[in-house]
Amino acid sequence: MNNREFNIRIEADHTLLLDIERFRLETGKITFLLGESGIGKTLISKALYGLLDSEPWEVQINGQPYYRYLKEGPVGRWQRDGFFVFQEPSSHLNPLLTIEQQLNEGDLAGNSYEPNILRRLWQNVAYKEIEDILKVFPKPFRPSGGEKQRVLLSMAFKKMQHFRPQKETLYIFDEPTGNLDDVYRNQVVAFLLEEYRKNPFTILFITHDYSLINELYRNHGDVLPQMRFKELQRVAENQLELKKFDTDGYLKWLEKAHPLQSGSLTGRKSLLTVEPQFKVFDRSFRIFADASHTRPAPLKVLSGKITYLKAPSGVGKTTLAKIIMGLIPAQQVHFELGALSFTEQTGRMRWQKQVWGKRAGMVFQHAEEALDLRSTVRQIFKGLPVQQKMTRNRVLKELSFIFEAPLQNTLLQRQVFHLSGGQKQRLNLLRTFILNVDLIILDEPLNGLDFNSIQRVLKMIQRKLNDGKGFLLISHNEEIFDRFIPEELQYYLWFQ
């Protein structure tokens, strides 16, 4: 069978980060590795591919020191024949070399598959535009996150087409579609599976995008027997286990989903009304009530209801949220927050005095950035404008709604830095949920969560809705939220 199993132990600065036994990688198969972000998927894959050979990492594989694994294990062959597509495309492209230079060095130099691959990954885009992208030095804002991700994928496909992979050859894709919308994601998956069908090789595909499962079941059923769905789970502190993921259970849950709130829309208090047209960064935007962008309508959030704002990534959903919260000044805007009226001329002090933590709050999408990682869990709740003091017991009680029981007392003293990505995201949500505000803006609230946590977060939202609070939701996770939010509360943003 040539299947490989690894016992992996990773430390940094003499601190154990993770320990997993029997991590199984089946040769010639596609392993989809699911699990909440920050649990250790990336570290494990980098350790296997031989990339953790510098400070501060100390790695043991199958009880052997890492240098021996690098010398004797399959890693030499994997590195020679395979490829690794990293997540966070922005940091994985060199800002001082053009995209073209980076697509033509090392193993990728001098092979001619590039144009076809680029055309395939940039469907519906003229090749001239793609050539323009090739001349660009990567910057934080250009090319976009999705384009950078496709550049990294192009490298993998280039190598794949030039050095025909064998069954043993390992390709690792670490969140390769995290920056792509569903259309591009599906194209990439289709391209990859097409290559796989030509001559099967070993693929480790890391993702926390559970909605991908539906796509695979729907359109790639023929390859399903070659696919393995696994989920990394924490069984003790730093102790991980690789479990089979119940794809059927997930699909059934999705099928049975009901809208988050009940009751009619009439007679509810208006918490937020945004006029359909606004302008920012010299660009005019419009809010529509339909997906085909024909009916401009004011965006409304009502008490006890959740409003869903949709748009392709990069269009400006987060920008609108920041305008509402007074973090970005607009050139033209008008909205009402309860009884307060705001325009582009409203002074910033007004938000500080009347809005932040009093009428409205916002949960930012990247918990890693939004939380102070150096603070302890307890300190996260200090300084919040809440009437009831955030005592130790109260914090513990609030945490019990979103963290697994039993809660350990030491959790309050733990640095946020040491929590997993999913735990951070839940803490990020809880900090705002604790506030006594009528309106909460949620920006990608399911980011980095595992299936279990997704269910918990949805329950949290339901609880707040029952208290009469309202939400404005921004998310690309349409497959899940379309089932939980009725169509009349869905809006579409577009720019002119």
Partner 1 sequence: MKKVLFTHMVSILLVTLFVAGLLLAIPRNLSKTTSAGDAQLNNYLQLKFLNINNPFQLALLQDVLDAAEPEGVQAHNSLITRLKNYETRQLEMMSRGAITRQELTWNRFFSLLLMFFRFLAIYLAVLFITYYAVETLAVYRFISTQADRPAFGHQMLNIWGRWLGHDPSLKKISLVGSFITLLFKTAVKALAYLVLFAPAYVIAYSVKSDFETSSDLFMILLAVFSNGLLLTYSNKFYTFLRNEARKGYVETARVKNLDARWEIDVEQGISHKRILHPLKDFQGHILQHIFINARFQYVNSIKEQASFLITGLMIIEMALNIHKHLSYELLQQILYRNYSIVLVILILIFYLVKFTEIGVDMLRFKWMKKIGM
Partner 2 sequence: MKRKLGTALNNLYKKKDQWWLLTGSIIFLLLWVWDRLFLNAPALRFLQIGFLNTLIISTLVILISLILAWVIIQKMFFFRGRNWAWAELLLTFFLNLIRSIPQIVGVLLGYVLITILLQLSILTASWQTLLLMAAIIALFVFLELVDLMQERITFYQSLDFYNAMKVCGISSFRIINFNILWKNSRGHILNKLIALFGVSIFLQCSVDFIISVGLSTKVSALNLPVTLGSLLAKIDSKQDILAIGYSFSHPARLSRLFLQHLQGISVAFSIVFLLIMIYKISNGYAERHRL
Residues that bind partner 1 (CB under 8 A): 46, 49, 51, 54, 79-80, 83-84, 86, 88, 91-97, 102, 105-108, 136-137, 139, 142, 152, 155
Question: Which of partner 1, partner 2, none does residue 327 bind to, with CB < 5 to 8 Å depending on kind?
Answer: partner 2
Q: Which is nearer to partner 1, 91 or 466 (CB)?
A: 91
Point out which span in 221-229, 232-240, 247-255, 369-377 binds partner 2 (CB under 8 A): 369-377
Q: Which is nearer to partner 1, 38 or 361 (CB)?
A: 38
For residue 265, how many other CB atoms are within 10 A of its CB?
13
Q: Which is nearer to partner 1, 13 or 222 (CB)?
A: 13
361 near partner 2, rule: CB under 8 A: yes
Per-residue contact string for residues 319-338; x = within reach of partner 2 by CB under 8 A: ---x--x-x-----------
Beta bridge partners of residue 441, listed in sequence order: 362, 472
User: Exactly one of 85, 180, 216, 371 binds partner 2 (CB under 8 A); which one?
Assistant: 371
Q: Which is nearer to partner 1, 152 or 473 (CB)?
A: 152
Nearest to 158 by CA among 102, 96, 201: 102
103-127 b/e (C-beta count within 10 Å ≥ 16 → b): bbeeebeeeeebeebbebbbeeeee
Distance of CA 260 to the CA centre of its chain: 22
Integer Cα distance of 285 and 492 in angstroms: 11
Question: Which of partner 2, partner 1, none does residue 364 bind to, with CB < 5 to 8 Å depending on kind?
Answer: partner 2
Q: Which is nearer to partner 2, 297 or 325 (CB)?
A: 325
In this structure, what token pair is assigned to residue 475? Answer: 């998310």
Q: Which is nearer to partner 1, 12 or 396 (CB)?
A: 12
Q: How far is the CB of 447 from partner 2 (least distance, A)?
A: 12
Fill in the amino acid letter for 392.
R
Per-residue contact string for residues 435-454; x = within reach of partner 2 by CB under 8 A: x-------------------
In this structure, what token pair is assigned to residue 321? Answer: 């949220």
Specify whether the CB–CB gap between 299 and 273 falls below 8 A. yes
Instruction: For 421, list phi and psi in degrees, rounded to 5.
Output: -60, -40
In this structure, what token pair is assigned to residue 45? Answer: 């894959």
Specify whether the CB–CB gap between 28 and 45 falls below 8 A. no
356 near partner 2, rule: CB under 8 A: yes
Strand order across the 340-343 sheet: 299-302, 270-274, 334-337, 340-343
Integer Cα distance of 337 and 341 in angstroms: 6
Count of helix runs (H) and strand runs (E) in the chain: 18, 21
357 near partner 2, rule: CB under 8 A: yes
Point out which span in 1-9, 120-128, 151-159, 351-359 binds partner 2 (CB under 8 A): 351-359
Q: Which residues bind partner 2 (CB under 8 A)?
A: 322, 325, 327, 348-349, 352, 356-358, 360-366, 369-372, 374-375, 379, 383-385, 428, 431-432, 435
